[in-house]
Amino acid sequence: MTTIADALRGLKISPKEISNRTTLSIERIEAILSGQNAAISEVRAIASGLRVPLHLLARERPASEAKSMRPLFRDTRKGQASYDLTVEKVASFIEAALEILPPRAELPAWLQDIKADERTYAEADRLAKQFRRMVFESHEEQPATELFLVLGSLEGMIVSRLDYSRYEGVSLIAGNYCFIFVSPRFAGRMLFTAGHELGHIAAHHQNDDKALFEEPSDIGSFGRYSKDEAFVDAFSSCLLLPDVGVGKSLKMFREHFRVDSKNLTDLEILLLARFYGVSFEVAARRCEDLGLLPAGVGHSLATALRKEFGSPEKRAEALDLPPRTDVPFPPISAILAQHLTSKINLGEISIGWAADRLGVTIGEILAANVRAA
């Protein structure tokens, strides 16, 4: 049986942060990390504070090794023997969700309609436009700041947070349901990660049943490491920054702020980033891909803003630009909340079991119960 110390070390977070989240002292956390036994009350405090399913800290077998889960998670350790708590949390969530949700005989209809024929930027743009037409009324211009709500309302799609993890995004298809997990970060980064993982769902997971766990360096590199990653980065960029909308927005910004420069300035890119909910770097890169900026200029501008102002966001604040729109991210996706509420009301599962397996609070389940009623 793997120790709690092994599980906590796999999260890659400091003893101080664990202490802040669990009410246990730093000294006690360090003692547990060194191998000392933890009392059941301490295990409960750790599970509650870090949103780790309690049964994973007191288990007899890893969740990823359950018969139904093993094929999905067989490659997640990448040759490492160490226990990965995030992998087990995701496996536990998937196992519980499939127990709550009704069986599906086939993939969602919307996903079956999306097919990537080749791994090119033009194809990523076509796929993004196709998806936007499916989900947005003003598909050529509308910001995707409500992407988490949109994804969570799609047939057969479950979106969830990935708390306290070294991974930034996870995606897979299981039981003909699509699952996307996104780690809480800067809202612009979270949107890009969600789009990136959606790209994997559309382009790769229909033919590959393995779960994909991605670290920060895997997302937003635009082809630095692989053609597949370049494709889904391009898909996310086109999804979040539609070309027609970008063109109209920049024209409006230049007219409103009376920009005389022939070239795009940091002001317009900052406004574009805030309007569409993305980071300065993602907005600048999209402008480069659309031929509105020379290649590499976006990175140079971002570097200059960090050097002079601390970050592009601080530059935007100094210019008193309009604030970013909130990016809502419900703790429980609509379809899962609906069936979870039904099973709780019928007495088929308990709130405590659901909270532990899904890594949410009882309060969040009760709130989802009210929304689903």
pLDDT (tens digit, 0 to 9) for every residue of the chain, 373 residues total?
456 887 787 777 889 989 998 889 999 999 988 888 888 888 888 888 888 877 777 655 667 777 777 778 876 655 454 568 888 889 999 999 999 999 999 999 999 998 888 889 999 999 999 999 999 999 999 999 999 999 999 999 999 999 888 899 999 999 999 999 999 999 999 999 999 999 999 988 877 778 899 999 899 877 666 888 999 999 999 999 999 999 999 999 999 888 888 889 999 999 999 999 999 999 999 999 999 999 999 999 999 999 999 999 999 999 999 999 999 999 999 899 999 989 998 999 999 899 888 988 888 887 876 665 5
Distance CA 341, CA 171 (A): 25
DSSP-H helix ranges across the chain = 4-9, 15-22, 26-33, 40-49, 54-57, 70-73, 85-100, 109-112, 121-135, 147-153, 187-200, 227-240, 243-256, 266-276, 280-289, 297-309, 312-318, 334-345, 351-358, 362-372
Residue 365, judged by CB atoms within 10 A of its CB (0-12, 13-18, 19+), counts as: buried
Please report, for the chain, the start and end positions of each structural domain, with discontinuous segments joined by +: 4-100, 109-240, 254-318, 334-372
Distance CA 49, CA 273 (A): 34
DSSP secondary structure code for residue 325 in this structure = P
Distance CA 127, CA 201 (A): 12
Distance CA 365, CA 183 (A): 20
DSSP secondary structure code for residue 167 in this structure = -
What is the model's pLDDT at position 364? 85
Token duo for residue 189: 């980064």
In the three-class reduction of DSSP (H, G, I as helix; E, B as strand; rest coil), residue 268 is classed as helix
Distance CA 6, CA 9 (A): 5
Residue 67, judged by CB atoms within 10 A of its CB (0-12, 13-18, 19+), counts as: exposed
Q: Determine the topology of domain 109-240 in CATH.
A: Arc Repressor Mutant, subunit A (1.10.10)
Alpha carbon 316 to its chain centroid, in Å, reads 25
DSSP secondary structure code for residue 215 in this structure = -
On whether the 4-100 domain is CATH 3.40.50, my answer is no
Residue type, 157: M
Distance CA 289, CA 274 (A): 19
Distance CA 218, CA 295 (A): 21
